[in-house]
C-alpha cells in the first residue's frame, strides 16, 4: 500500500534477482479497512515511493486511481473462507475479503509469473496462496522473511505512528516471540505454557493492549492443539497506544 520502507525494498531487490521485468503495484485499498480504521490517515508518500522503486531497479510502477479499481456500482468480491477465520480475521472480519479482491484484480491486470509478499503479514500470504491455488492462477507465490530494525521491531509503514516512547514499548512483541522461540529450541513443546510465556512478556509492557496472542498451523492458519515442528506459527496483534502492530514467528 505504499509508504515504502526497507522491508519493501528488500522484497523489490529479491524480486529483481528473479524477474526479467519487475512491476510494483501501489494502492491504498479502502475495502480492507474497517469503518473505524486508519484509511484516511494511512501514511502516503508517492514521490518517495517512486524514488525507492527506481533505486531498487523496478521497471514499472502501477499506481491506479480509486475509480479505476472500484468503478461506480462495484459489487464483485473474491473471498477465501477457512484461512481467514483466525488471527486478524477475527478482529477485522471484512479485511481479507478486501485483500483478496484487490490482489486478484491486480493479478488480472499485471499478469505476473511470480509474486513476492512479506511474511510479516503471514496470514495474508497464506490466504493469497490459497486463492491462487484454488482459482488456478498460474502464479508462483514467494514469501520473504520479515525485515526488522536492529532492535528487532518488524518494519511496518504504521511504525511512523509511534511516538519515541511507544516505539520503545513496541519491542515487547518481538521480545515475547523471541523468548517463545528460544523456549521451543530448549525443548518446551506445551502450547499452553508457550502462549503464557508470550502473553506475559507482552503484558509486562503497561502500554500494550493485546488484540490476540495465539498459535496456528503455518500452512492452513487453523487452530492446533499440539506443537508441529517447523509448522507452528506464533502470531500476535497488539495495540501500542492507538497503533495496532502485528508480528509472528514460525518455530
pLDDT tens for each residue of the chain, 251 residues long: 999 999 999 999 999 999 999 999 999 999 999 998 999 999 999 999 999 999 999 999 999 999 999 999 999 999 999 999 999 999 999 999 999 999 999 999 999 999 999 999 999 999 999 999 999 999 999 999 999 999 999 999 999 999 999 999 999 999 999 999 999 999 999 999 999 999 999 999 999 999 999 999 999 999 999 999 989 999 999 999 999 999 999 99
Report, as residue numbers or ranges, the catalytic residues. 8
- Please give the Cα distance from 202 to 63 (Å, whole number): 38
What is the structure's pLDDT at 19?
Answer: 94
Q: Give the pLDDT of residue 71.
A: 97
What's the predicted TM-score (pTM) here? 0.96
The confidence score (pLDDT) of residue 90 equals 95
Cα 157 versus chain centre, distance: 11
**Quick one: cell of 36?**
473505524
Percent of the chain with pLDDT over 70: 100
Dump the DSSP string for 155-183. Answer: P-GGGGG--HHHHHHTHHHHHHHHHHHHH
The 3-state DSSP class for residue 246 equals strand
Per-residue confidence (pLDDT) for residue 99, from 0 to 100: 98
- Calculate the average pLDDT of the chain: 97
Q: What letters, b where the CB count within 10 A reaches 16 and e where it falls short, cover 227-251? A: eeeeebbbbbbbebeebbbbbbbeb
Position 225 scores a pLDDT of 92
**What does the radius of gyration of the chain's CA atoms come to, in whole angstroms?**
18
Helices and strands in the chain: count of H runs, count of E runs: 9, 7
Distance CA 199, CA 66 (A): 40
Domains with residue ranges and CATH for the chain: 6-144 (3.40.50.620), 161-250 (3.30.1300.10)
Amino acid at each position: 500500500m505504499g509508504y515504502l520502507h526497507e522491508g519493501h525494498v528488500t522484497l523489490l531487490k529479491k524480486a529483481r534477482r528473479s524477474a526479467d521485468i519487475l512491476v510494483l503495484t501501489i494502492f491504498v485499498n479502502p475495502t480492507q479497512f474497517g469503518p473505524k480504521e486508519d484509511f484516511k490517515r494511512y501514511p502516503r508518500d508517492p514521490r518517495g515511493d517512486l524514488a525507492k522503486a527506481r533505486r531498487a531497479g523496478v521497471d514499472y510502477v502501477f499506481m491506479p486511481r480509486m475509480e479505476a479499481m472500484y468503478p461506480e456500482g462495484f459489487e464483485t468480491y473474491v473471498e477465501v473462507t477457512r484461512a481467514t477465520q483466525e488471527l486478524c480475521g477475527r478482529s477485522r472480519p471484512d479485511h481479507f475479503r478486501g485483500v483478496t479482491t484487490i490482489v486478484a484484480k491486480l493479478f488480472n491486470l499485471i499478469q505476473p509469473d511470480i509474486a513476492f509478499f512479506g511474511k510479516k503479514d503471514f496470514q495474508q500470504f497464506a490466504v493469497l496462496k490459497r486463492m491462487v491455488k484454488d482459482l488456478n492462477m498460474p502464479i508462483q507465490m514467494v514469501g520473504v522473511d520479515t525485515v526488522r530494525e536492529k532492535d528487532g521491531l518488524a518494519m511496518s509503514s504504521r511504525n511512523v505512528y509511534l511516538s519515541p516512547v511507544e516505539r520503545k514499548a513496541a519491542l515487547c512483541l518481538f521480545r515475547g516471540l523471541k523468548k517463545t522461540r528460544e523456549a521451543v529450541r530448549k525443548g518446551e513443546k506445551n502450547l499452553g505454557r508457550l502462549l503464557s510465556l508470550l502473553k506475559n512478556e507482552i503484558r509486562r509492557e503497561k502500554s500494550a493492549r493485546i488484540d490476540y496472542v495465539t498459535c496456528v498451523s503455518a500452512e492452513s492458519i487453523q487452530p492446533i492443539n499440539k506443537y508441529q515442528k517447523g509448522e507452528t506459527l506464533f502470531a500476535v496483534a497488539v495495540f501500542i497506544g492507538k497503533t495496532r502492530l502485528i508480528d509472528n514467528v514460525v518455530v
